[in-house]
């Protein structure tokens, strides 16, 4: 959910945006804070992954798009345009070689650790109204390595070139061939793939919770929210960039309802909708569905991320006045993204929407320790809370494999 910066994460691949889905880090609730009471929450969650869910729900490597067979023609096309590329391709053809012969495989590995620290200030304005602001700070560490492995066919190409006195030309190209991925990126005007570490401000969340109904056994709250485009957006000159924001405003609204089965056992149901407002971005516009890389740039591409729908069901059990256990299950779905522009044909902008429909089913477990009741009975010095949580993905589509471990410290004043 957008609250608690659940969507203020990062670009892990060129198809997964900061506006995409991620598992929730807290159970929903219809409860509000008493009038005049404030809380400072310091939440944090982290995950490490080198995998993602594909469009059909299968788990694949984050570097899946890098690991591809390479033909002689693709090696030639990775050379700079103009005379140099023509000379290289002509040399291969003069040897009588089939340019469509597969001569090796590009390979890569991407490993990412993301840790988000989330200060949240909340204030009970009235007995029914609570407002909050969340400011995510995102630390990311991405390790990436690329290369390629030649096969026996490539060795035959080298042997043929040497036999015909062209060995020096092959040797001159050896470094570019060994780093064919970055060679191609450089030719297209991208920055090279390198390991990076960032600390970024994410998209600030403003949240209001208004309790519509409250009885002895139930409560219902309306929860509108707004997300401000305060985070750094992904660099369009990077194939993979972990950014803190998506460069757009988002507006959302939801309902949360609590039902108390007993004084110690409660059930919460919630549903929400987030509308992602379109914005103009600098985008690289691909020319083929099979190839997302492109040197063609439109600085005024209209980008509309898909709207997000969320539902969730949770249960809390107050084991004692200090210890509470919680569990939940949530389902989220995001519509496909839409792009348009006037610089190129619309069919090329449509390619940017590839693999942008997302779904996520997640299960949660939470352990809460609270001194609030003890404080009210004057048995503890301060009203504090500690929440430990784990969110595991059950099934998903087009998102990183991100099982979250979270910790939240809360003080009331």
Q: What is the pLDDT of residues 209-267, one digit of tens each?
A: 999 999 999 999 999 999 999 999 999 999 888 888 999 999 999 999 999 999 999 99
Q: For residue range 51-105, what is the model confidence (pLDDT) as tens digits? A: 899 989 899 888 777 777 878 777 777 666 665 667 777 777 777 778 788 887 8
In angstroms, rounded to a whole number, what is the distance separating the alpha carbons of residues 3 and 208?
10
Burial of 17 (0-12, 13-18, 19+ CB in 10 A): buried
- β-bridge partners, 61: 51
Q: Is residue 161 part of a domain?
A: no
- β-bridge partners, 108: 146
CB atoms within 10 A of CB 98: 12
In angstroms, rounded to a whole number, what is the distance separating the alpha carbons of residues 304 and 289?
19
Q: For residue range 5-46, what is the model confidence (pLDDT) as tens digits? A: 222 222 222 223 346 898 898 899 999 999 999 999 999 999
Query: Rounded to whole angstroms, what are the CA distances from 168 to 69, 164, 399, 405?
Result: 25, 11, 46, 55
Give me the sheet containing 279-284, strands edge to edge: 279-284, 297-304, 338-340
- β-bridge partners, 409: 42, 386
Average pLDDT over the chain, rounded to an integer:
87
| pTM of the full structure | 0.85
Give the 3-state secondary structure of residue 29. coil
Q: Which one, of 97, 108, 107, lies nearest residue 155 by Cα?
A: 97
Query: Rounded to whole angstroms, what are the CA distances from 194 to 109, 145, 190, 310?
Result: 11, 7, 12, 35
**DSSP code, position 382:** S
Q: Is residue 255 part of a domain?
A: yes
Q: Is residue 185 part of a domain?
A: no
What is the band of 344 on the pLDDT scale with cuts at 50, 70, 90?
A: very high
Which pLDDT belongs to residue 5?
Answer: 27
Q: CA triplet 170, 176, 180: central angle to 5 degrees?
A: 120
Please say whether the beta carbons of 278 and 303 come within 8 A: yes
Which pLDDT belongs to residue 78?
Answer: 67
Assess whether pLDDT exceeds 90 at residue 277.
Answer: yes
Q: Domain residues for 12?
A: 3-61+117-142+200-412
Domains of the chain: total: 1
Q: Is residue 105 part of a domain?
A: no
Q: Which one, of 357, 356, 358, 406, lies nearest residue 386 by Cα?
A: 406
CB atoms within 10 A of CB 102: 15
In angstroms, rounded to a whole number, what is the distance separating the alpha carbons of residues 63 and 181?
12
What is the percentage of the chain residues whose pLDDT exceeds 90? 62
What is the band of 164 on the pLDDT scale with cuts at 50, 70, 90?
A: confident
Residue 336: both structure tokens together: 């496909």
Q: For residue range 312-341, what is the model confidence (pLDDT) as tens digits? A: 999 999 999 999 999 999 999 999 999 999
Q: Is residue 87 part of a domain?
A: no
Which CATH number covers residue 335? 2.40.160.40
- β-bridge partners, 309: 273, 333
Q: Is residue 107 part of a domain?
A: no
Q: Is residue 69 part of a domain?
A: no
- β-bridge partners, 131: 123, 208
Which pLDDT belongs to residue 82?
Answer: 65
With the CA atoms of 127, 129, 133 and 134 taken in that order, what torsion angle do they form, in degrees rounded to the nearest 10? 80
Q: Is residue 92 part of a domain?
A: no
């Amino acid at each position: 959910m957008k609250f608690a910066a659940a969507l203020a994460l990062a670009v892990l691949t060129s198809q997964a945006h900061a506006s995409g889905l991620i598992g929730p880090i807290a159970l929903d609730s219809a409860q509000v804070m008493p009038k005049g009471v404030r809380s400072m929450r310091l939440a944090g969650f982290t995950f490490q992954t080198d995998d993602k869910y594909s469009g059909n729900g299968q788990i694949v490597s984050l570097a899946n798009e890098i690991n591809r067979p390479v033909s002689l023609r693709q090696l030639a096309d990775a050379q700079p345009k103009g005379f140099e590329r023509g000379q290289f391709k002509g040399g291969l053809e003069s040897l009588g070689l089939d340019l469509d012969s597969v001569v090796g495989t590009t390979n890569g590995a991407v490993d990412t650790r993301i840790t988000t620290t989330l200060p949240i200030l909340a204030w009970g304005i009235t007995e029914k109204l609570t407002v909050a602001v969340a400011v995510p700070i995102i630390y990311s560490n991405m390790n990436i390595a690329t290369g390629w492995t030649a096969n026996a066919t490539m060795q035959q190409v080298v042997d043929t070139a040497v036999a015909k006195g062209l060995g020096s030309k092959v040797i001159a190209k050896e470094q570019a061939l060994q780093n064919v991925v970055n060679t191609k990126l450089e030719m297209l005007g991208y920055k090279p793939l390198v390991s990076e570490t960032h600390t970024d401000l994410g998209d600030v969340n403003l949240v209001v919770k208004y309790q519509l109904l409250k009885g002895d056994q139930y409560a219902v709250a309306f929860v509108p929210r707004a997300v401000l485009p305060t985070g750094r957006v992904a660099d369009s000159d990077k194939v993979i960039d972990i950014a803190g924001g998506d460069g757009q405003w988002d507006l959302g609204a939801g309902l949360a309802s609590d039902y108390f089965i007993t004084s110690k056992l409660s059930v919460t149901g919630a549903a929400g909708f987030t509308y992602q407002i379109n914005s103009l971005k600098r985008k690289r516009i691909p020319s083929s569905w099979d190839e997302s890389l492109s040197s063609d740039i439109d600085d005024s591409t209209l980008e509309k991320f898909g709207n997000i729908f969320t539902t969730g069901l949770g249960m809390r059990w107050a084991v004692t006045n200090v210890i509470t256990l919680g569990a939940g299950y949530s389902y989220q779905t995001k519509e496909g993204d839409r792009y348009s522009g006037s610089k190129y044909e619309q069919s090329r902008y449509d390619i940017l929407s590839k693999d942008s429909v997302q779904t996520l089913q997640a299960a949660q477990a939470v352990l809460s320790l609270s001194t609030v009741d003890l404080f009210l009975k004057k048995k503890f010095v301060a009203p504090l809370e500690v929440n430990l949580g784990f969110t595991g993905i059950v099934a998903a589509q087009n998102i990183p494999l991100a099982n979250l471990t979270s910790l939240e410290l809360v003080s009331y004043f």
